[in-house]
Structure 1
Amino acid sequence: MTKSSKATSLEILACDAGWRNYHFVKLTTEDGIVGWSEFDEGFGSPGVSAAIQRLSARVIGQNVFQHERIFAELFAATRPAAGGVVAQALGAIENALLDAKAKSLGIPCYELLGGKIRDRVRVYWSHCATWRINHPSWYRPPIESLDGVKAMGREVREKKFTALKTNIFSYDEGKPTGWRPGFGSPFAPEINVDRKILRDLHMHLEAIRDGAGPNVDILLDCNFNAKTEGYLKILRTIADVDMFWVEIDSFNPEALGYIRRQSPHPISSCETLLSLREFLPYFQAQAMDVAIIDTPWNGVWQSMKIAAAAEAFEVNVAPHNFYGHLCSMMNAHFCAVVPNLRIMEIDIDRLSWDRELFTHEPEIENGYLIIPNRPGWGTEPNEDALRAHPPRTSSGLLNYVARAEKLEHDPLMRDDGPS
């Protein structure tokens, strides 16, 4: 007998998350089951909420157990504009459906995905030093020198994490500043990498290695901050540094494959891709050693298909995870199940009110996340806490870059000030 539980409402909720907002889908069924998912529209994706709301009419009245059918119907309805914000909306809806289905059955989401093959997942401390340099008002203590970077590395080791990831910084008179021309800060559309940036990057990595010691793996995220020539310069400059991986975003799979074949370090990529169709050219070009999948963007069920394709191309996967605790739990269920897992990203520096926003935080022991066995994703947003921290009207990457530009002209303007 086929199980049935129809969706009766679909709502969007959001709250203040410092320099950005957290966003959630709340899907309620006729049985009173609530399925949750977390999504993001601050990472270059304005308008995901509007797309979800526009699509919600096609979800109401449907059986949440038939999430693959619902996804296929929503894709068909949006096929002329597939990808981008629309694809992220489909992923957010799919993830809420999975949570509702698992809760209806009284099982963790990983059971829907084939059952877990590991009870814990190795994690790396993401945005290590980055958040405390770029957002000192929210993530403390602020880092204002190389000594602070060394202390950060030491903190990672002392808290028994085995891996960390950092970013590119420019140092002026010893003070680090985030270097993100790929995201418009500084505005330099040519995205060239000069000698000073190369020297400063090497110095930064040496400092964090000095603090972390020889047994902590170091990852570097270059984002979209160079073109092929620049990435090769970076890789040559840090060839003598022991790196777990160098993360590179490129719109061209052939260019990325060219970089990988000359790299002394493993290459990870693809966190901004949507759907298996977009991943396939990168797999075919053997463009990366590790494929990074954003499961909130793609939907965890669809992400399982991407991971299976990666396995066929002898590639391991890792989740893109720099959002709230619900996203971390969603990614944890994905990581519990996929055979070809490399490692999981997670932010350890958190906002002071993050713990109020969710019923459960990720449990981490000695650098490993313990897979929860509670029904669904294993955590839910606390609606009272969300209301106590109303969302900002302008937030995320688009507005943060604008604030950074203003900060250069007005040092009194802090990143927790007016948007």
Structure 2
Amino acid sequence: MMPTKAIVSEVRTLSCSNSWRNYHFLKITTEDGIVGWSEFDEYFGSPAVSAVINEISGRMIGKSAMHHEHIREDLRNVTRPGSGGVVGQALGAIENALLDIKAKALEVPCHVLLGGKVRDKIRVYWSHCVSYRTRTQHYSPGITDISGVKQIAREVGEKGFTALKTNIFHYDARDRIEGWSPGFGRPYETSRNVERKTLKDLRRHLEVMRAEAGPDVDMLLDLNFNAKTDGYVKILREIADLDLFWVEIDTLDPKALAYIRSQSRHPIASCETLIGLQQFLPFFREGAIDVAIIDTPWNGVWQSMKIAAAAEAYETNVACHNFYGHLCTMMNAHFCAAVPNLTIMETDIDRVAWDHELFTHVPEYKDGHLILPDRPGWGTEPIEAMLAKYPPIPAAGMWKRTEPSKLSI
């Protein structure tokens, strides 16, 4: 087979509905008909990534996807004053689609480009366990009270998974539950103070899930941006005696996180909202984390390998941030297969009814592991006819929520 030059000829962004948010995809086509795909996100505090991609994509036309690092650096140079944020995420999406093209041109899986796999199955944890099913209009069976919490905790082991991650919930007098996430505006509480009820309800939630999941299922707790330093320390002291795999905390201050870690009996995972090696380095230098979580759709898988290599130099393992569609899961799977210093992989098991219709292949799970395919590229592609069948919803995005903060006038 003659080697292809893989000259970029067209760049398009596409989107479809996932019931309560939208999936977003980048499609790059070459002159010889090779199509590279990546998935990106505009829900998680990231409006208009597609607009950035469409604005800068003209610089790729006529260039070879085989030189993905050259293209990324060129785009980085012309966007440097506004680097990071949605600009960084746009570069990550572009890099990932170019990697898909290159791997398909060479007729190899993407993990071969990353140095080759060091594992062919990847241990996963069931993420947003309880959280998604509280969206009762989107997921079935829905969860409204403690009986649903118990049922899903049992289901984790029954379906062969060995780890789960849950979030913070409040319980009322009738044992009905409601998520508590002031870091994302639910409720509107700018101080993000952690009160006694939050501590009491969180402890109860974890104890209930442990009792139902059993002693052999690893439990992870995600605190997100929902407190400040003093609040995180309060929570860690309240749950110090519980059996947890890690506690996940989002903060942009590495010194503060290093202090929080010094007060914790549990391993601390963080960094999922960082973009670029430069942002990760202070957390490594401060000894702020036990596990560095890397968002490979945001950073680009090639750049994520560099971050993982830096983590290895600080005796730190990595995990991936993955709460998107099946293409993102496969992009993350290739990263996780090739990176030596991996802890575990995040994945969402609860899915809306039509998720499987949108892709040529869906992830295969067996005994709590994702089985890595050897198909060329990422190993799955969106099906454009199915994307058109489920058009994007207009009111998707955290900034378009219908429950604005209430302020007396």
Instruction: Give TM class, smaller chain.
Output: over 0.9
Secondary structure of 1:342 counterpart:
strand
Q: Which residue does 1:261 correspond to in 2?
A: 262
Q: CA, structure 1 residues 48+286, in 2 after alignment: closer, same or farther (shift >3 Å)?
A: same
User: Who is 2:142 aligned against?
Assistant: 142
1:364-415 CA distances to partner (integer Å, 9 max, x unpaired)?
0010000110000000001010000000112022224x34869xxxxxxxxx
Which residue matches 1:411? none
Q: Does the 8 A contact of 2:47 with 2:397 survive in 1?
A: no
State the alpha-carbon separation in 1 of the partners of residues 6 and 181 from structure 2: 46
In structure 2, the partner of 1:34 is: 35
Q: Which runs of 5+ in 2 are unaligned?
A: none
> Mapping of 1:227-376 within 5 angstroms?
227-376=228-377
Separation of aligned partners in 1, 2:20 and 2:119: 34
Please identify, of 317-326 and 388-397, the stretch whose mean Cα deviation from structure 2 is larger.
388-397
Residue in 2 that maps onto 1:381: 382
Partner residue in 2 for 1:415: none
- Counterpart in the other structure of 2:53: 52
Matched, 1:183 2:184: yes
Residue aligning to 2:203 = 202
Q: 1:42 to 1:243 in 2, by over 3 A?
A: same
Distance 1:28 1:405 in 2: 44
Structure 1 match to 2:6: 5
SS in structure 2 opposite 1:68?
Answer: helix
Q: How far, CA to CA, are the matches of 2:405 and 2:352 in structure 1?
A: 23
The DSSP-based 3-state class of the residue aligned with 1:123 is strand
The answer (yes or no) to whether the contact 2:4–2:105 under 8 Å persists in 1 is no
In 2, Cα distance between the equivalents of 1:190 and 1:403?
19
Contact 1:6 1:64 in 2 (8 A): yes
Q: Partner residue of 1:410?
A: none
Q: Secondary structure at 2:343's aligned position in 1? A: coil
Q: TM-score if structure 2 supplies the norm length?
A: 0.97
Q: 1:219 aligns to what? A: 220
Q: Distance in 1 between matches of 2:352 and 2:316?
A: 34
8 A contact 2:3–2:105 mirrored in 1 = no
Task: Note if contact 1:20-1:397 (Cα within 8 Å) is conserved in structure 2.
Answer: no
Whole-angstrom distance in 1 between the partners of 2:262 and 2:3: 50
What displacement does 1:145 show?
1.4
Partner of 2:18: 17
Distance 1:404 1:288 in 2: 34
Does the CA contact (< 8 Å) of 2:130 and 2:166 recur in 1? yes
Match of 1:128 in 2: 129
AA at the equivalent of 1:117: V
- Partner SS, residue 398 of structure 1: helix
Contact persistence 1:185–1:404 (CA under 8 A): no
Determine the C-alpha separation between the residues in 2 that align with 1:163 and 1:404: 35
The SS at the match of 1:62 is coil
Q: Is the 8 A contact 1:150 1:209 kept in 2?
A: no
Q: String of CA shifts for 1:87-108, please: whole Å, max 9, x gaps.
A: 0000000000000110111110
Superposed CA offset, 1:184-223 (max 9, x none): 1100000000000000000100111111000000000000
Q: Distance in 1 between matches of 2:271 and 2:19?
A: 26
How many Å separate the matches in 2 of 1:332 and 1:404?
37
* Counterpart-to-counterpart distance in 2, 1:122 and 1:351: 23
Q: TM-score, normalised by structure 1?
A: 0.95
Q: CA deviation at 1:361?
A: 0.4
- Distance in 1 between the 2:235 and 2:136 partners? 27
Give the alignment's Cα RMSD to 1 decimal. 1.2
- The 10-residue stretch of structure 1 (342-351 or 170-179) with the greater mean CA deviation from structure 2: 170-179
CA distance in 2, matches of 1:212, 1:360: 30
Q: Alpha-carbon deviations, 1:71-97, whole Å to 9, x = none?
A: 100000001111110000000000000
Question: Which whole-Å deviations, capped at 9, do the CAs of 1:232-257 have from their partners, x for residues lacking one?
Answer: 00001111110000000011000000
The answer to whether the 8 Å contact 1:90/1:298 transfers is yes
Query: How many Å separate the matches in 2 of 1:86 and 1:340?
Result: 28
In structure 2, the residue corresponding to 1:343 is in which secondary structure?
strand
Check whether the contact 1:268–1:292 (CA below 8 A) recurs between aligned residues.
yes
Report the AA paired with residue 143 of structure 1.
Answer: I
What residue identity is the alignment partner of 1:45?
Answer: S
The list of structure 1 runs, each at least 4 consecutive aligned residues, that deviate by more than 6 angstroms after superposition, is none
* Deviates further, 64-73 or 1-10: 1-10
CA distance in 1, matches of 2:395, 2:90: 20
Q: Deviations over 1:13-40 (max 9, x none)?
A: 0000111100000000011010000000
Indicate the SS of the match to 2:262: helix
Change (3 A) 1:345 1:146: same
In the alignment of these two chains, the number of paired residues is 404
Distance 2:35 2:252 in 1: 38
Question: For residues 306 and 344 of structure 1, what CA distance do their matches in structure 2 show?
Answer: 16
Distance between the aligned counterparts of 1:397 and 1:120, measured in 2?
34
Tell me, yes or no, if structure 1 residue 166 matches structure 2 residue 186. Answer: no
**Alignment-mate amino acid for residue 187 of structure 2:** P
Asked whether the equivalents of residues 183 and 227 of structure 2 are also in contact (C-alpha less than 8 Å), the reply is yes
Distance in structure 1 (CA, Å) of the matches to 2:398 and 2:152: 24
